[in-house]
Structure 1
């Protein structure tokens, strides 16, 4: 995404803030070896190479008949069968000259054969098989054509998905070295917060951020501890942060980082450690803070629910992934036509709740009509975020950057 070059009134540009956070990422957690079946979503702690050629032998790409193309005239012809080879057979016997063999997908090619013809392209006449004209070499998976022994397969820092688990299983790997899950404490701040199921008194509200942040952090593969709400009291806030820092790798809080008289988090963090940055050129989510508590990184997210969710996905996510040992941590936005106009340039980068809709046969990015920083209904309606950089306006049809939630939640 482009850098913000406009006047942000002293606010830290988003990209600069993310880079500053990544620079302060501590060393990854300790390495542990786990069963491959348990490694989904974990971060690889070593670079792995192919232990053998893939495929390990020439084999058939489909069910059909294996032959030596030189045994056929250019216009095609018929050859007698000399047996059959199924997947799992060894195929040690060379193919007899002037013959073909029945072969199945994945079965090893017999020595001397160079071509496999799909069964639907052939015709059986008694003990012979009739073949069409052939070029030679069709439908054969050659030894090592995917990977040669010793070639790098997966790099250290790769987050393991289903396809990586299957790839490693194909090499016979039963266990894998990964980084221990990042231990993250989730803290909420505010006397007004109540839990779902409790009755609300005037001025109170339900703690939506706790559940949004638990969902985001678990989707990122973190081991999450849901800690009690911190009251609006400096001494109690300081004690809660100190206890959390003693047992976790990262602290993530929501609320308490604004400029109100009852917002004590920044003061508590300053007393226990350092405050590195505060207030970003982002909307929603300007009052975001980052620092350390007794040497443990602390991310202070805004209190408004949509702002807390969006800053967790945009700003906290790269830091948390890198802290787990991931190498690739920044999402790659799509560039798609805007189904909306943005007439007024803003001094902060906008992350607008949006989704893709087909209009006139083409996908466009459309916005929810309500973009307030407290509104989660728009985030639930949306499938992603449209990014409008500071200082930019848009006409309908112009390209806009779009971040699908599917690329941010994981």
Structure 2
């Protein structure tokens, strides 16, 4: 069992990924067509059944030639995309349409607008081999692995499946995910449950099936029962609240009695996120503050559902200085990307000069974590050091992690 230390975000992700194969392997598989494959996780490797394209073909209207030949070529016919190509002998060329297969010897296409043809004689084109040609197998080669088991398919991948002739793929059943909000004030209706709905939305985006949200009071037996019952009935469990060190915070203690994966993450907002295996079911306890819960979900929990995925960023200049409170912590600073004097700027949402004035210069993750207005940010900057005004920085847009 990992020690009681707060781990880095990378370590937390690694520990979830170590158990992802078992998490997916417990899900039954089913066949789906390309139209239903978006967002689904593959149950097995997916290989190309053939070379695509099956032959070299022209990317422009013009004349197919063999660049090994010298001098003028005699044009001996024409080829359309639906035709089988004729053979050309040395010194010959054939007229081709875009998408037409090339004769066996041909290795370049002279664009129609650049060709000089007189009495069926094509002037020497002097082209390099491969000009205006797509080679056989450029898209895929026969038996090439296109995707590995555990990969998630995106809507765009349907084009590739159709192109290579794959009509059905075997995917995992969508995992069922229990969502449990802890807190007496939420359970009794004195405060709204601000986390469960967005967590359900994230689970759907990541290919899962969320449960109807459940609430439990701050009672040790109630929390323990809710977690163990959910772990027995669902493929994964997400809880919110109860992960700090207060007398009414019971989630961390319950998870510590099981196969603890990590007790906390050096990430703010989002530090009190903890995870364990409860009878082999992944249970992740998220903090109760909305932005903290969201940050921990998209930067840590997401890996369990989608695997290790690169996080694309966009480069902008920071509009205001932001000082970080402590060393050794990774901070997710929400920002709004807006037009500046010399291009785009990232205004820290929460800075006193923003539309959510919570801090002057020193980042206040606790205040930001509690304000749902911070959901109006366009993304966030990940940093473990203070940021200067005018500094070029990398913004993670929310759409790439949600």
Q: Report the TM range for the smaller structure's normalisation.
A: 0.7 to 0.9
The 5-angstrom pairing of residues 3-402 of structure 1 reads 11-25=6-20, 27=22, 28-29=24-25, 30=27, 31-68=29-66, 73=71, 82-91=76-85, 93-95=86-88, 100-122=93-115, 128=120, 133-137=125-129, 138-193=131-186, 204-269=190-255, 273-321=258-306, 326=307, 328-329=308-309, 331=311, 337-347=317-327, 348-368=329-349, 369=351, 370=356, 372-380=368-376, 382-389=377-384, 392-402=385-395
What's the offset of the Cα at 1:56? Answer: 1.0
Q: Which residue of 1 aligns with 2:360?
A: none
Whether the 8 Å CA contact 2:75–2:122 is kept in 1: the answer is no
Per-residue Cα deviation, 1:258-298 (whole angstroms, up to 9, x for no partner): 33333333344456x35554343321123222223333221
Measured after TM superposition, the shift of residue 360 of structure 1 is: 4.4
Take 2:324 and 2:45, find their aligned partners in 1: how far apart are those partners? 49
User: 1:173-217 deviations in whole A, cap 9, x for unaligned?
Assistant: 1111223322211111123238xxxxx98xx33222111111111
Query: Which residues of 2 match residues 395-410 of structure 1 at below 5 A?
Result: 395-409=388-402
Q: 2:63–2:96: 8 Å Cα contact kept in structure 1?
A: yes
Give the secondary-structure state (helix, strand or coil) at the position aligned to 1:213. Answer: helix
* TM-score, length basis structure 1: 0.80
Equivalent pairs, count: 379
Q: 1:109–1:307: structure 2 CA closer, same or farther, 3 Å change rule?
A: same
Per the alignment, in what secondary structure is the counterpart of residue 312 of structure 1? Answer: helix
Is contact 1:266–1:275 with CA below 8 Å preserved after alignment?
no
Contact 1:121–1:132 (CA<8 Å) still a contact in 2? Answer: no
- 1:105 Cα deviation (Å)? 1.5
Distance in 2 between residues matched to 1:104 and 1:242, nearest whole Å: 65
Q: Is the 8 A contact 1:82 1:96 kept in 2?
A: no
Q: Which residue of 2 aligns with 1:4?
A: none
- Secondary structure of residue in 2 paired with 1:365: strand
* Whole-angstrom CA distance in 2 between matches of 1:406 and 1:239: 35
Contact 2:93 2:122 in 1 (8 A): no
CA contact (8 A) 2:49 2:143 kept: yes
RMSD: 3.2
* 1:136 CA displacement: 5.0
CA offset at residue 241 of structure 1? 2.2
Alpha carbons of 1:133 and 1:360: their partners in 2 closer, same or farther (altered >3 Å)? Answer: farther
Pair 68,294 (structure 1): closer, same or farther in 2 beyond 3 Å: closer
Question: What's the secondary structure of 1:221's corresponding residue?
Answer: coil
Structure 2: how far apart are the matches of 1:142 and 1:275? 52
State how far apart, in whole Å, the 2-side matches of 1:207 and 1:407 are.
25
Partner of 1:197: none
- Alpha-carbon displacement from aligned partner over 1:58-90 (angstroms, at most 9, x marks no partner): 2111222334567774xxx6x775443211111
Q: Is there any run of 5+ residues in structure 2 with no aligned partner, and where? A: 357-364
Residue 170 of structure 1, CA deviation: 1.5
Measure the CA separation in 2 of the matches of 1:349 and 1:60.
52
Question: 1: distance between equivalents of 2:304 and 2:108?
Answer: 52
Residue segments in structure 1 that go unaligned for 5+ positions in a row: 1-8, 195-199
